[in-house]
Amino acid sequence: MLTSICGINWGDEGKGRMVDLLSEKFDVVCRYQGGNNAGHTVINERGKFILNLLPSGILRENVVNVMGCGMVIDIKHLCGEIAKLREHGIKITPENLKISDKAIIVMPYHVLQDVMEEDRLTKATGKPYGSTRRGISPVYADKYMKKVLRMGELKNPALLKKRLPDIVAWKNMTIKAYGFEPVTVEAMADYLDTYGAPLKDYVIDTGIYLNNADKAGKNIMFEAQLGALRDIDYGIVPYTSSSSTIAAYAPIGAGVPNLKLTNSIGIMKAYSSCVGAGPFTCEYFGEKADKLRELGGEYGAATGRPRRVGPFDAVASRYGIRCQGADEIALTKLDVLDTYKEIEICTHYRLHGEIIDEFPFSDVLDECEPVFEKVKGWNCDITGCRKREDLPREALEYIALLEKLCECRIKYVSVGAERDAFIEMY
Ligand code: GDP
Ligand code: MG
């Protein structure tokens, strides 16, 4: 079985905790895109963990974790993430962590370029892209320029060092144009030695590994970072990530373009949140926003930034579900709405006086206004509910309404951050 688990919204839907929960049934968990620009929070009996690069299956003893060729890997950050987990007694060896030889290395000059460009944009336009400043967009741009170093090259340091000077010289042309000090080949070579060498034993052709695992009947899960609305093609450009966050990309980004997904599970939050800049039609402001942000603990896992929040957005979610080809939904954080007597839902957008229900081209999103509808809240604590029958009638009605608006079944509902705080609906 090949299952993808993807975000339906703007990210931070609770993918990490859902992958952690569902990975029980899987032998292999793969990350297939992105870098350390997002954070997945997982809370289980071993503690609270924030994962940026490692697949969430790393917290389960019998799961093999794969970092695919669609990823961009900050090797210093990865070394740090591995060290931190080891301090908590998590075992990480080449047996349970496999890194694609074709995955790309994020270098310090990518991080520098990201910072230089966000600062330039801020000064020039007052409208930065809201980048996490971790070098992700520069490294993906360089990938398409074919001027990157790949993880497999760590196994051949002599060749790597031959390629490095020209890449550094090319990048320095950009750095100097921004008025910054160029980087040196020596410093970059040292960097690769220090943080690349410890990782080289984990590097393999993940395509061979995954094909063999599939042939042996293993269950493989693909774990996405961010959500559909942050996809480089389908998202709210330019306020997106620089990679494909879409389920259909999972086999490609993991190393098995020959394999087809069996199913796609979409992770959708019971309300909306959006970190950083960009159009967010259903956004709440003022006290309404503060209340929901506090109740949901909506602060970035990677950056600590307060997240923008709003009610559930049916227009964006329906679009997200279509982008992800989701067969079923895991609805997260329903308990965050426990204290509301009435719950708002953004059912439509209004654009130039007309009501629309299809998510529009991102340029016109700024002109869209939300159309809210109110439904009765359950106004009681549901964090102890573990079965469908435990849920109050209003909560069941809220779930049924989201199913109807989004045209997709909700299979799981989470009612707390802990591993067991969820309900299997059918
Ligand atoms: P991800 O990036 O999609 O993995 O999500 P994040 O980890 O960035 O944000 C989700 C946050 O919600 C984390 O702090 C989780 O611990 C928390 N969380 C996940 N599921 C639930 C839930 O059902 N209820 C509550 N109250 N919190 C949850
Ligand atoms: Mg997150």
Per-residue pLDDT reduced to its tens digit, 3-47: 999 999 999 999 888 988 888 899 999 999 999 998 888 888 888
Q: Answer yes or no: do 121 and 157 share one domain.
A: yes
Domain end among 199, 221, 249: 199
The residues carrying an active-site annotation are 12, 40
> Which tokens is 43 given?
């809370």
**Mean per-residue pLDDT, 174-199:** 97
pLDDT for the residue numbered 303: 73
> Which tokens is 32 given?
């297939």
Domain end among 158, 173, 199: 199
> Looking at the predicted structure, is the pLDDT value of residue 328 above 80?
yes
Q: Answer yes or no: do 360 and 292 share one domain.
A: yes
pLDDT for the residue numbered 397: 98
CATH (domain of 185): 1.10.300.10
pLDDT tens per residue, range 249-295? 999 999 999 999 999 999 999 999 998 889 999 999 999 999 999 99
Q: Which atom of ligand 1 is nearest to the CA of 300?
A: 8
Q: Answer yes or no: do 221 and 117 share one domain.
A: no
By most ligand atoms within 8 Å of CB, the mutation choice from 8, 9, 17, 223 for ligand 1 is 17
pLDDT for the residue numbered 209: 98
Provide the pairing of β-strand 409-414 with 328-332. Answer: parallel
Ligand nearest to C-alpha 17: 1
Q: Give me the amino acid identity at 43.
A: I
Ligand nearest to C-alpha 37: 2
**Mean per-residue pLDDT, 116-134:** 93
pLDDT tens per residue, range 106-115? 999 999 999 9
Q: Answer yes or no: do 290 and 403 share one domain.
A: yes
Please give the distance, rounded to the nearest whole angstrom, from the Cα atom of residue 103 to the centre of ligand 2. 21
pLDDT for the residue numbered 47: 86
Identify whether the C-beta of residue 106 lies closer than 8 Å to the C-beta of residue 74: yes
Domain end among 226, 241, 265: 265
Q: Answer yes or no: do 296 and 338 share one domain.
A: yes
Q: Answer yes or no: do 75 and 118 share one domain.
A: no
Q: Answer yes or no: do 362 and 417 share one domain.
A: yes
Please give the distance, rounded to the nearest whole angstrom, from the Cα atom of residue 163 to the centre of ligand 1. 42
pLDDT for the residue numbered 300: 81
Q: Answer yes or no: do 30 and 114 share one domain.
A: no
pLDDT for the residue numbered 105: 98
Percentage above 70 pLDDT, the chain: 100
Q: Answer yes or no: do 336 and 389 share one domain.
A: yes
User: What are the pocket residues of ligand 1 if the criterion is a CB atom closer than 6 Å to any ligand atom?
Assistant: 7, 11-17, 38-41, 43, 297, 301, 332-333, 335-336, 414-417, 421
Q: Answer yes or no: do 189 and 218 share one domain.
A: no
**Mean per-residue pLDDT, 234-262:** 96
pLDDT for the residue numbered 19: 87
Q: Answer yes or no: do 46 and 194 share one domain.
A: no
Q: Which residues surround ligand 2, an ion (CB under 5 A)?
A: 12, 38-39, 301
> Looking at the predicted structure, is the pLDDT value of residue 301 above 80?
no
- The count of domains in the chain is 3
Question: In Å, how far are 300, 346, 402, 418 from 36, measured between CA atoms?
Answer: 13, 31, 32, 23
Q: Using CA positions, which residue lies closest to atom 27 of ligand 1?
A: 417
> Looking at the predicted structure, is the pLDDT value of residue 77 above 80?
yes
Instruction: Give the structural domain span for 394.
Output: 267-424
Identify whether the C-beta of residue 49 lies closer than 8 Å to the C-beta of residue 19: no
CATH (domain of 68): 3.40.440.10
pLDDT tens per residue, range 372-424? 999 999 999 999 999 999 999 999 999 999 999 999 999 999 999 998 999 99
By most ligand atoms within 8 Å of CB, the mutation choice from 333, 334, 415, 420 for ligand 1 is 333
> Which tokens is 179 given?
């008025």
Distance CA 135, CA 114 (A): 5
Please give the distance, rounded to the nearest whole angstrom, from the Cα atom of residue 306 to the centre of ligand 2. 12
Q: Using CA positions, which residue lies closest to atom 11 of ligand 1?
A: 14
CATH (domain of 346): 3.90.170.10
Please give the distance, rounded to the nearest whole angstrom, from the Cα atom of residue 227 to the centre of ligand 2. 9
Q: Answer yes or no: do 292 and 345 share one domain.
A: yes
